[in-house]
Structure formats: C-alpha cells, structure tokens
C-alpha cells in the first residue's frame, strides 16, 4: 500500500487568523469553524488540504523545519497580486529554469511560491 499526502497540519496561535491567511492568499475554502479541534481548509485546485490546530503555549512556532510550497506558473504575477491583497514576499530567486519567492504566515511558518512544477 502506497500512502498519499492528504493534509498538512499547521499549529497556530490564532487559528482563525491563520485559516483566513491561507484562504485569502492561497485559494483555500473554509467555513472557519473549529470542528474536532481543527479548522479545515480545502484546496480549490486540488492538492493536500490544510488543517489548522491550536498550538499549545509550549510549542515554538516559525521554525524552518517545514516550508509549504505552492505551485504557481507565474511567480512574479502571483507576488504582484498578493501585494495588492496585503501579502509581501521576499526577492524572487531563479534556479535551474524556475523561480521562487518566500514569505511567512501569521505564525512565522515559511511559505513559498514556486514555478518549479511548470518548468
């Protein structure tokens, strides 16, 4: 049996704020309601869902151990649209025929957009 990635769990200080971030900037759908201790975000264009979980006070957030990377065909175009919606990215990097750029979510988790899948 081969497993498939079904969901990514993100620990957040403010669950609703983090859910709204991914819904607004990365096209996930959510009711924003907490169900069984989680807020579920479903991708509009396929891929893994995101589950937002309340972080315990002892959890140290924003470490570089995990980075969410979203596939976009036009990195610069996506960044321009994100800026109009209040989300700033760092510089665009070019590597082996694709581009990527980085930002942080409200809990300082690393997030990138990349055109690697489209090269």
The answer to whether the pTM exceeds 0.85 is no
So where are the chain's domains?
7-55, 66-119
pLDDT at 119: 87
pLDDT in tens, 35-52: 889 999 999 988 899 999
pLDDT in tens, 62-104: 765 678 989 999 999 999 999 999 999 999 999 889 999 999 9
**Are 7-55 and 66-119 the same fold in CATH?**
no
pLDDT at 75: 96
Sheet containing 93-95, strands listed edge to edge, beginning at the edge strand earlier in sequence: 67-71, 110-114, 98-104, 93-95
CATH of domain 66-119: 3.10.180.10
| 43 contacts 49 by C-beta, under 8 angstroms | yes
Phi-psi region of 27 (alpha: psi -120 to 50; beta: other; left: phi over 0): left
Check pLDDT > 90 for residue 117: no
Other beta carbons less than 10 A from residue 116's beta carbon: 16
CATH of domain 7-55: 3.30.720.120
């Amino acid at each position: 049996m081969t497993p498939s990635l079904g969901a990514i769990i993100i620990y957040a200080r403010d669950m609703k704020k983090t859910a709204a971030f991914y819904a607004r900037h990365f096209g996930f759908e959510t009711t924003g309601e907490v169900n069984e201790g989680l807020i579920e975000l479903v991708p509009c264009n396929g891929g893994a869902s995101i589950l937002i979980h309340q972080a315990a006070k002892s959890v140290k957030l924003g470490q570089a151990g995990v980075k969410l990377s979203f596939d976009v065909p036009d990195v610069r175009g996506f960044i321009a649209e994100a800026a109009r919606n209040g989300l700033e990215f760092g510089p665009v990097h070019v590597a082996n025929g694709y581009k990527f750029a980085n930002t942080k979510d409200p809990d300082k988790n690393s997030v990138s957009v990349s055109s690697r899948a489209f090269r």
